[in-house]
Amino acid sequence: MKPRKAALVLLAAVTAAAQSSTYTPPAPAQPLPFSHKTHISAGLDCKDCHTMADPGDKAGFPPTSKCMACHVEIKKDSPAIQKLADYNKKQEPIPWKRVYRVPDYVSFSHKSHVTTAKLACETCHGAVRDNQAMRKEKDISMAACMDCHKAKGAPVACDFCHDPQ
């Protein structure tokens, strides 16, 4: 078999195996424990903490002061909350490890997906509301995004998500 053909066969096999896999990677070790399930059950919504500053391309992490608005009283003796309070006192952001990330060459706007397309956060991030720890549950590959765009009637032209070179 010619090297190019062998490489294509191997690529096809790896792609097929990856698509049929139900493997969910473990949650990355975070600087503080955080349960979306606990916070959602307390009445918080995604947008309460993950704001989208204009132009809305990224959903940010909340400032420690936002967390401390409740945790000045709630679980204040917990070692994790004491560590949170220390970040807040030093005015340092919590160094969270991102779970989902799109490449820099992809133009992606949370605002357009949440506001214009009216997608729930779970569409791309999985059942976050049920998780004790955030982990990557959903495929955010180009193929998965294109499948979603096709299903919802959104544009799939290359220059819709990629800057022309």
Cα–Cα distance measured from residue 36 to residue 99, given in angstroms and rounded to the nearest whole number: 14
136 near 78, Cβ under 8 Å? no
Residue 52 sits at φ, ψ, to 5 deg, of -120, 90
pLDDT score for 52: 86
pLDDT score for 28: 93
Q: Where are the beta strands (DSSP E) in 31-150?
A: none
pLDDT score for 60: 87
Cα–Cα distance measured from residue 122 to residue 159, given in angstroms and rounded to the nearest whole number: 26
55 preceded by cis ω (within 30°)? yes
Cα–Cα distance measured from residue 109 to residue 74, given in angstroms and rounded to the nearest whole number: 34
pLDDT score for 29: 94
pLDDT score for 1: 56
138 near 145, Cβ under 8 Å? no
pLDDT score for 14: 55
| Intervals of the chain under pLDDT 50 | 20
> How many Cβ atoms are within 10 Å of 137's Cβ, its own excluded?
17
The residue type found at 5 is K
pLDDT score for 120: 92
> How many Cβ atoms are within 10 Å of 127's Cβ, its own excluded?
12
pLDDT score for 11: 53
Q: Residue ranges per domain, the chain?
A: 27-61+96-161
Global pTM? 0.75
pLDDT score for 138: 93
* Nearest Cα to Cα of residue 59 among 106, 114, 105: 114
pLDDT score for 8: 52
